[in-house]
Amino acid sequence: MVPLSFIKMHGCGNDYVFIDCFTQPVPADPGKLSQTVSNRHCSVGSDGLVLMLPPAVADADATMRMFNADGSEGSLCGNALRCFAMWLHQSGRCGTDFCIEMAGRRIRCEVVQSDVADRSAIIRTAFGKPGELAPNRATAARLSPFAIPLELPDVSVEGQCGGTLHVSMGNPHTVFFVESLSEVSFDTLGPRIEHHVKFPHRTNVEFVEVTGENDCRVRVWERGSAETMACGSGACAVAVAGLSAGRFRPGKPISVQMSGGLLTISLDEDWNVSLQGPAAECCRGTLPPSAFTKQAENTLSDANSPN
């Protein structure tokens, strides 16, 4: 085993360890490596691991794979995509308009601003229409988030959160509109809803407080990574749910304030979704061979168990 170079980048505080697989071999077990590097006490510390790969299909400029802090592989990550897009542009591999493939999906990326010296950028990503929202639903209904009644013993979900809307951005999101984020039992509800029996593949959870005509504050519990400071696909899901439920005004951008920063979501008349926000590099380093050994592995449950 040889040392593996990495770059740590974040989008609104949603941080990942990125591996340049254009010039380095793909790690043999990226899921286990993600568990190791995500540990904030014994390793680099992150919300997961991202492999930056050469294109696997003719109509894309690069391929991205993302692994959550628990080692599971994700199907979409808007914040990590912006970071990868910044790196592709600033490393000279791409111009200002290009395509990244992730989990079979082609995502158009546009570099709005780029500061090479500061290693930061503003990136816009186009995700297209929301995905299928439920099995066997008619295509005409695919843009309408559907309600899922949830029951949790000893916890009043509806009392705290009102109605529930489920949205797919290619990955699952369960969105709650609340009167006040401060009154939500976030640490209790987040993990229990993620693992609810009605979501056999688990779900991301967003709690939303509307603060203006097209402004809101969001707290997110991310599938496989617990609470994160931001979630790009979650911000898009909030916008889709809010417009469908009449909580936001159509035809204007939606400002989603997350713990780590501001994301801006736009939807056109055909419900194509685009996300704009910052990306920044934190640091660079090298993972020693010990990072790949069993003795160095630290699971998410070990690193982030409740105190």
Kindly list the distances between the CA atom of residue 7 and the CA atoms of 44, 48, 96, 252, 280, in Å, as whole numbers in the listed order: 10, 12, 21, 35, 11
Percentage of residues of the chain with pLDDT beyond 90: 67
Q: So what's the pLDDT on residue 303?
A: 42
The pLDDT > 70 percentage for the chain reads 84
Q: What are the DSSP calls for 244-266, one per residue?
A: HTTSS-TTS-EEEEETTEEEEEE
- Report whether pLDDT(222) > 50: yes
134: in domain: no
- Do 251 and 206 fall within a single domain? yes
Residue 21 pLDDT greater than 50, yes or no: yes
Domain boundaries, position 212: 139-271
CATH number for 190: 3.10.310.10
Total domains, the chain = 2
Please indicate, yes or no, whether residues 149 and 93 belong to a single structural domain of this protein: no
The pLDDT of residue 144 is 46
Stronger pLDDT, 293 or 242, i.e. the higher one: 242
Residue 295 clears pLDDT 50, i.e. is over it: no
Which of the residues are catalytic?
Answer: 77, 231
Highest mean pLDDT among 27-41, 145-159, 195-209: 27-41
Do residues 155 and 258 share a domain?
A: yes
Model pTM? 0.87
Structure tokens at 19: 């591996």
Q: Judge if 171 and 153 occupy the same domain.
A: yes
- Measured torsion, CA atoms of residues 159, 208, 229, 297, in degrees rounded to the nearest 10: 50
Report whether pLDDT(294) > 80. Answer: no
